[in-house]
Structure formats: C-alpha cells, structure tokens
Amino acid sequence: MSFTYPLGLLILIGIPIVILIYILRNKYNEQTVSSTYIWKLSDKFLKRRNPLSGLTGIISLILQILTIAAIAFAVARPVFVLPNAAHDYCFVLDISSSMNMKNGKKTRFQKAQDEIVDVIKSSKDGSSYKLVCVGDEAVVVFEDVRKKDAAIDLVEDVKVGYVSSEYSVVLGAAQEAFDNNPSSKIYLVTDKSYETSKNVKIIGVGGKNQQNYAVFDVTYSHAKEKLSASANVVSYASATELDVKLYIDGKETAKKKVAVESGVHTPVSFTAPCAGFNSFEIKVDEKDAYALDNQIITYNVEAEKAYSTLIVSDTGFFLEAVIDSLLDSEVTVVTPKQYEEVTDQYGLYIFESYSPKTLPDGAVWLINADSSIADSGFSVKGRVNLGAATMIEKSKSTATSTRKLLESVDGNGIHITNYIKYSGMYLQFNTLFSYDSNPLIFAGANALGNRQVVFGFNFNESDFALSTDFVMLMRNLLSYSFPNVIEETNYIAGEEALINILANAENIKATAPSQKEIYINSDGATALLKLDEVGTYVISMTIAGEESRYKIYAGANPIESKPAVKEAEFVLVGEREDKKIDGEFDAMMVLFILLAVLFIADWGVYCYEKYQLR
C-alpha cells in the first residue's frame, strides 16, 4: 500500500485531541425536573431496561476516533498494489487532415478521441498510457501516465492536424512502440481501414457512404483588364452536377454548373472583366462531409508590392529613366554631396561612381565603386585598362540562383574598355559576368544581410546599355533587389513557404488561420514558414514605420480528400509478449462509504443518548 498524499496522515493528530477532550469534558448535565421522586423512579427504570446506557460515551468516542482515521486515510488517498493486474497501453492516433471529415455531428477525430477515452476507462487502474500522434511526422504527446483522469484530459487536449499522414510514418511509429515494449497493447486509431493486421488493434473511425467534393489545381492569367481562371473539380462518391462559383475580392462574379464523374478530375474555367484584384476564389457550392477542400483562394502577389529607389550619382538621369520604364517605382536622384543629408529610408540604393563610407540598411547597387566599403564583402585592388573594347564572359554556373539571375540573358555583345578589379571576397556572391576570372557583375548578400549587386565598370564607358541583354538583365536584377515577399500564394498544408525579407523590414510575423502568431527570423535574406493549417496565412512586416500585409493560402492535401482509404495490411514485426504490470486499487470510494456509515452511527448514538437515556 502507498499513499498519494502522505501528508494527509497528519490528521491522525486529531485522535489524541478527541481522547483528551473526552477525558476532560463534564459528563454531567444540569436539568430541571418537577419531582426527585419521579426522576429516581425513571432513572432506575431506564437503567434496568438499558444495560448499555453507561457505554454510550465510549461507543461515541470509538466512532469519532474511527471517523478521524477514515478522514486521514481519505485525504492521504491510499492505493493498494495488485500484482500483475494491469497493462501498458500505447495509442497511435492519426491526426491527418482527413480526420476533419464529419461522421454525423462529430468529426472522425472527435470520434477517435472518444474511442481512446473508452479504452482508458475500461482498463485496470494502475495501467500506463502512451499517446503518439502521427501526421507528416510522429510526435509522442505523453507516455507513462498512470492516472486515468490525467490521461483522458491529455487526450482531449490534442488537436487534429491538416497535413497528410504517410503510411510509412504511421507504421514506423507503431513499430517503434512495439519494439520498445512487446507486451504493450497497441491501438491504431485511424480513419483508414486495413485488410489484415498483426500485433496491433485497429480502431477504425472512417465513415461509410460519405460524400466529398473538392477543387484543386487553380491557374490564372490577368491581362487586358480580364481575369482568366481555371481549376479541376471532383466528386468522390457518385456522379453529379456541381455548382462552381468564382469570387473576385469576395464578390460573386461568375457561376457554372459542371457535370462530374465519380473520382474524375473535371476542368472548369472562368473569364471575367477585372481591372485589378487582391484575391479571387473558386468554390464548390454544395455541402459535404469535408469542407476544407471545397475552395481555393489565390492572392495577387503584386497587390502589396512597393518600390522606392534612391540613385546617388552626378549623372543619374539615365538610370532613373531605365528604372521608371521597367518598374512602377518611386525614384529619387541626389548627388553624392546631397546624399550626406538624406534621412529617409529606401528599398534600393544605387551608388554610381561613388563609394559611400558605410552601406545603408537596404538593397544596394554599387556601380564602378573604386574604393573599399565596410561590410560590402569585397575589397578594391585598383582599375585595369584594357586598351580596347573587350567582350566580357557570361557565367557558366549551373547554380539555381545564378541561372535565375541570368534568365533570358544571352551573354553576347557586352564590351568594356576598363574595369575595377575586386578581390578578397569573404562573402558568397553569384558571379554573372567576368573577365579573365575577375568578377565584373556579381550579386549576393552583404555583411548587413541585404541584397547587393556590384558592377565593376562604368556604364558610360561600355556598350552595356546598347546590348540586347541590357533590358533583360536589368529586369532580373531589379526583381532580385525588389523581391516579392511571397513568390507563390498557393501551397498545400504541410509545405514550407519561402518568405523574402525586404530591406529595413521589422516586426516580421505570420498569423495562421487559427490566429496563432508565428514570429519569423529576419536575420537573413529569406526565411521558411511551415504551413501546418488549411486556410489563409497573413505575413506582416513593418517598413519605414508602415505595416505591409501579404497573404498566402494553404489548401487541403488532395491525398486526404478521399472519404474512404483502404490499405492492404498493418503488420508489426516481432513476437508479442504477455507481461503485465502491477495494478492499483484506489480505496477512496470504500473510505467515503465508511465515513458515511461512521457519521450515521455516531449521530445515532448521540440521538439515543440525548433523547432516550435522559
């Protein structure tokens, strides 16, 4: 026997106190009677009829002592050990997105929780409980919990996921639990069914004859004040006609009735007048058991994009004209002398034939910089004169970042007569063009973590502006310097979204569909955001005191949309053992019953003594 709260036994101190009170208390009561003669006769009569009348005080004392002892034991909560009477239980719970499907008024996940709770309640006291939740990965929620109430509370606190569950991950989690304890009772609680199983009990919570409609694979184009959007819709239970609607910025714009075959992806397309949009949604209007895949929202990545450029140059009008033609940008031109008085912040700083003392906190272009700059990631060796116009060489690197910067750039026809030789590069740059292995155009992040592009020659002393590659390379480099915060707006739950960190950005965070806030590390040029939920994520960041918000939509995984999924087998390899663990008997109920009996008995003795003996 052991005690859950052994300090409760301190209540036993009350026993000697009760005994002391019994010894010291006045045993005589003053009463008024009409006649001593009648009193003597009645007292003699009662003594003759009640031979135990002198023992009532002792009986009451004994009952009070037993009551105090029962209270002390009840507070201390004694637990009796029952050898080899209980088991170890391990529940492997599927928390994949399909568990959000409804079975009547409850979801499959809620039904799964109820099934686990029923097993725990029916188990022997003293059993141990372990819960492993499996989505795209297996997570041990709790283990070696030996109190039923605690285990049930933990099970009811678990939340369903929105990602897919791989068969190999689920099997691996169950196999690991079996390997660690071949005697444990392993339950797999899932909405998928299996033809055969071994060393595990499958508790299926999948529904029968459930209907689900879904929309996937949205694509669109926006040109000439017209939005063209298309998607695939599917019905998983039976052939039917679906009402599919197009919403632009939350307003219903178009509707089509689409005939679909069971399980067949059927295309549907819309064309609607649209000068501009922040978002559009394609939605299946019919109700079904799984609402998460009935719509997809697409956001316009350009809607929140803002450009601000500062050109520091004595002859910056050419660059201003180029940027104005390629971007809808706010461009400011100042001379090097005026730059010392600039206090506003910009997204891009272009320094032409001028080397600032320190780099600003923003994207930077250094054109023909002839002296070393702190934190730039390179040093200047000096100017090299070529004597005649010489063509520079395009990089042959197959790196993804380099190929993206040189997209649609041929690399022919750029000639220079002199250049600045750079060396001592201690940061990772992508060299785009070079001469004699000396980098002439390169891009990367400087020591401040900002995007930086370097031109090792003067535009006015080359034919770069006249080359066929000029416009395309400038467009690529401007896109690199002014990246979209989000390059895609549609993902699948479970994927990671790439977030580009803009210059001067502060307080960067994402708000999930559940309103959970996720703070994003802004130390680098990019960050990854894990999309664990279905719905709209809002990424917010503050630039120059103003907050900008960007939205992406994480859709339901198509793999999880099928209402009924059947697998061949779920077999745990190994030989099962039958070792039990010690169970427990909680005596609380017995003690409460005993307390009630003692209280009633003591009250009966009191009443007997009070009203019968006197």
pLDDT at 317: 83
pLDDT score at 613: 47
Single out the residue of 93, 217, 265, 205 nearest to residue 563, CA to CA.
205
What is the β-pairing status of strands 415-423 and 379-391? antiparallel
Over residues 280-324, the pLDDT tens digits come to 999 999 999 999 999 999 998 876 666 789 999 998 888 888 888
Identify which of 65, 160, 104 has the alpha carbon closest to the alpha carbon of residue 532: 160
How does pLDDT run across 81-135, given as a tens digit for each residue? 667 778 999 999 999 999 999 988 899 999 999 999 999 999 988 899 999 999 9
- The model's confidence at residue 611, banded by pLDDT at 50, 70 and 90, is low
- For the chain, where do the domains classified as CATH 3.40.50.880 start and end? 308-481
For residue 429, is pLDDT > 80? Answer: yes
Positive or negative: CA dihedral 11, 13, 16, 21: negative
Instruction: Give the pairing of strands 566-571 and 193-198.
Output: parallel
Determine contact, residues 172/573, Cβ cutoff 8 Å.
no
DSSP helix/strand/coil, 380: strand
pLDDT at 614 over 60: no
Percent above pLDDT 70 for the chain: 89
Q: 390: which strand partners?
A: 416
Residue 528 and residue 593 in contact, taking contact as beta carbons nearer than 8 Å: no
> How confident is the model at residue 34, as a pLDDT?
67
Identify which of 353, 481, 368, 363 has the alpha carbon closest to the alpha carbon of residue 422: 368
Could you please report the per-residue DSSP string of 548-582? EEEEEEEEPPGGGG-S--EEEEEE--S------EE
The average pLDDT across 513-540 equals: 90
pLDDT band at 606 (very low <50, low <70, confident <90, very high): confident
Q: In terms of C-beta density within 10 A (0-12 exposed, 13-18 middle, 19 or more buried), how is residue 529 classed?
A: buried
Distance from C-alpha of 190 to C-alpha of 113, rounded to nearest angstrom: 10
CATH number corresponding to 490-558: 2.60.40.10
In the chain, CATH 3.40.50.410 sits at: 88-208+564-579
| Residue range(s) of every CATH 2.60.40.10 domain in the chain | 213-300, 490-558
Q: Does domain 213-300 have CATH number 3.40.1350.10?
A: no
pLDDT at residue 349, as a whole number: 94
Pick the residue with more confidence: 507 or 515?
515
C-alpha–C-alpha distance, residues 216 and 282, integer Å: 9
Strands 526-530 and 496-500: antiparallel
CB neighbour class for 470 (10 Å; exposed up to 12, middle 13-18, buried from 19): middle
Q: Say which CATH architecture domain 88-208+564-579 belongs to.
A: 3-Layer(aba) Sandwich (3.40)
The domain 308-481 is placed in CATH, from the list 3.90.79.10, 3.30.470.20, 3.40.50.880, 3.40.640.10, at: 3.40.50.880
Least confident of 24-38, 125-139, 244-258, 332-346: 24-38
Check if the beta carbon of residue 319 is closer than 8 Å to that of residue 350: yes
464, 433 Cβ separation under 8 angstroms? no
pLDDT > 50? residue 475: yes
Residue 170: which residues within 8 A CB-CB, separation 6 or more?
92, 94, 134, 138, 188, 190
Tokens representing 25?
């208390």
- Per-residue b or e along 26-52, where b marks 16 or more CB atoms closer than 10 Å to that residue's CB: eeeeeeeeeeeeeeeeeeeeeeeeeee
